[in-house]
Amino acid sequence: MMEGILFAALPPMPDAALFLEFAASHPLAAVLAGTSLSFAATACGAAVVFMPLEQKRAQKFQPLALGFAAGIMIAASVWSLLIPAMELGGKNGDSGWIPATGGFVLGVLFVALLDRILPHMHPASETPDGPPSTLDRTTLLVSAVTLHNIPEGMSLGLTFAVAAASGEPAALSAAFALALGMSIQNIPEGAAVSMPVAGTSTPLKGFLAGVLSGAMEPVFGVLTVFAVGAVLPLLPWLLAFAAGAMMYVVVEELIPAARLNEHTDAGTMAVMAGFVVMMLLDTALG
């Protein structure tokens, strides 16, 4: 039923054949494979705390890495979520822009609401956000990145579930491209959580905080699989919803963390580079 809807027909990469065969077996298996890859990347980024000689250098590089991550998420929101939402809405007989626009706005409002009602602290800040709380810095830092990983898990869950339902190798290849792009941008995110925590406690505690922050991706990816079956007609809205939530994260957190206001082209070029990499991944693999 989903055949030909989401992605252009290109053959899958040979070195991804095993991954694609596993993903095609069941939507849940597909989502677990994709979100596990992304979750593992978060853990790899968090492991930077065990390299003390490199921590100072990593802290200087971190804004550029987060800018790169912002570019990846912008491209993923457009190519992997918004464009498929428009195409799928058109296939369902609706005007494609209606679910794309409505879902996008709802996704933005959803994350904005979470930002207001849940206490958290961004890695680059010393001031907690959200309602007053007595939670410690570690918990607040983990809460911030956990909030940001919710839309990422949803987008991976939606993309892999639809690709597995279509049974098309090209669709699964494109979903794999999204997982790879998300994994690349999760490395600096894991480091962004683990390094501040390790600086005030121990490397092990920092590492565990970074790993815990990425745990929401598999959780919400799996929950999304179960939701898709019940709300299949709303799939274009859900895809756009995930795009809006991701774009809110980019503008509210990642772009400021890239320090684009410091009168240097480095952060801007990092964002552009991330956008190009994700665009190439999506078009080459999808």
pLDDT tens-digit series, residues 101-121:
999 999 999 888 888 887 766
Record the pTM.
Answer: 0.74
- Is 243 a residue whose pLDDT tops 80? yes
- Tens digit of pLDDT for each residue in 43-87? 998 888 887 655 556 566 777 777 888 888 898 888 888 888 888
Q: Which of 175-189, 245-259, 267-281 has the highest mean pLDDT?
A: 267-281
Q: Residues 120-124: contacts with CB within 8 Å, 24+ apart?
A: 120/144, 120/146, 120/147, 122/253, 122/257, 123/192, 123/193, 123/195, 123/196, 123/257, 124/192, 124/256, 124/257
Residue 201: DSSP 8-state: S
Span 207-234, average pLDDT: 79
Collect all residues with Cβ–Cβ distance below 8 Å to 112 and sequence separation of at least 6.
Answer: 248
Better-scored residue on pLDDT, 208 or 57: 208
DSSP category for residue 258:
T
CA distance linking residue 25 with residue 163, whole number of Å:
11
DSSP 8-class letter at 233: G
Note the pLDDT of residue 34. 81
Domains of the chain, residue spans: 14-49+67-285
